[in-house]
Amino acid sequence: MAHGIPPLRSGHHLQLLEGSVELFPAMVTAIDAALREVRLETYIFDFNESGAEVAYALERAARRGVAVQVVVDGLGSGDLPPAQLQRLEMAGVQWHVYSPTGTLGLLWPGQWRRLHRKLCVVDGAVGFCGGINILDDFHDPNHGALEAPRLDFAVRVTGPLVARMQETMERLWRRIEAVRRLRSAHLRGTLTSLRASGTRAAVPAPPVLSHGLPRAKAALLLRDNLRNRAVIERAYLRAIGRAHREVIIANAYFVPGARMRRALVNAARRGVHVRLLLQGRYEYFMQYYASRPVFGALLRAGVEITEYEPSFLHAKVAVVDGHWATVGSSNLDPLSLLLAREANVIVEDRAFAHRLRQRLLHAVQHEGRRMEAAAYDNRSRATRAKEWVALVLMRLALLVQGKKYL
């Protein structure tokens, strides 16, 4: 569905995975069992520590004849290690960089539109979606070693939505291939290739073998800059607007626009228990400080805000009324909701939502610091000045893109 929220479909098996410590072994197991193809997209591919295990699994798959296609973001992954790339390419791994930054970097307006989604599909039968980059839980590219693991989530899924994951990944791969060939001045060959790839027959996926009945309802939300510009935000707004008892949101970079702020305030005022688990440690200037001016209105409406403290919070998840949940790559900020390619899974399943809710509640109660309205109102002039500068920078970045959000 191009402009609306896709309907939830039944027939899914879902497994919530926390951090790379759970995601990477599940991915490696799936990749090692691959018979035909592996597709992977990620914002960051870091070869340190456990990230290398995923790279080795991709290499093993390619060496035994599996078609392996990887897309990484040109900003998030930066300059990849030449030795590692050479090793993967020699094994037969096909590798593309989405929107290389070039000499101007983010000074060029189009470079703010990034590939931020994290997807993996194996043999068209099992998929992974979430917020976790190919990055070890205890390593940060900008801050080095971490004392505690980064908090983030992904979901392993089998069922109907895996086909949509594969379709969108195939489409992006063909687009990157076309752009690369056009830049190489092979226009005739590109058009021929596009015609062939657009009409090729789909290879049937092998049957999914699993225990029990696949009962969970789920859908894949894909945000892009064409037809699906607001689908993830609409899904959040609909769930919050329908909430009766509880909304729990954990979000790394939380800079909600006017509609999202109104939805949260209105929910709190009608008696819904609204909890936000947000970034408590400084990571990036603009995202950290630009979020804080909106906290006042939320606190006054009765929204509870907890800042996660043990490590960096990278999660982009939510649970509403104990049955609706989402896990994905999209932050509730304008960089995600207006510019980046994002992917979230939405789930209607009480068992799945219960597990995610319990983990978030534990973090709220034992791993965070509750923000008090009085302390917020008494923050220093220096802090307020940083907030103002961050907001101006974010608005300027959006203005250059022709966007308005705040």
| Residues forming the active site | 116, 118, 123, 314, 316, 321
Contacts of 299 (CB under 8 A, 6+ apart): 305, 371, 373, 376
Half-sphere exposure of 330 (CA within 13 A, CB side): 30
Q: How far is CA 98 from CA 42, 73, 109, 171, 257, in A?
A: 10, 5, 15, 13, 28
Helix, strand counts (H, E) of the chain:
13, 17
How many residues in total does the chain contain? 406
Tokens of 336: 């995600």
DSSP-derived secondary structure letter, 283: -
Contact 353, 322 (CB under 8 A): yes
The burial class, CB within 10 Å (0-12 / 13-18 / 19+), for 91 is: middle
The burial class, CB within 10 Å (0-12 / 13-18 / 19+), for 43 is: buried
172 backbone φψ class: left, alpha, beta (φ>0; ψ -120 to 50) = alpha
Residue with tokens 């996660």: 308
Contacts of 139 (CB under 8 A, 6+ apart): 46, 48, 49, 51, 145, 146
Tokens of 161: 């939505």
DSSP string, 210-270: -SS---EEEEEEEE-SSS-SSHHHHHHHHHHHH-SSEEEEEESS----HHHHHHHHHHHHT
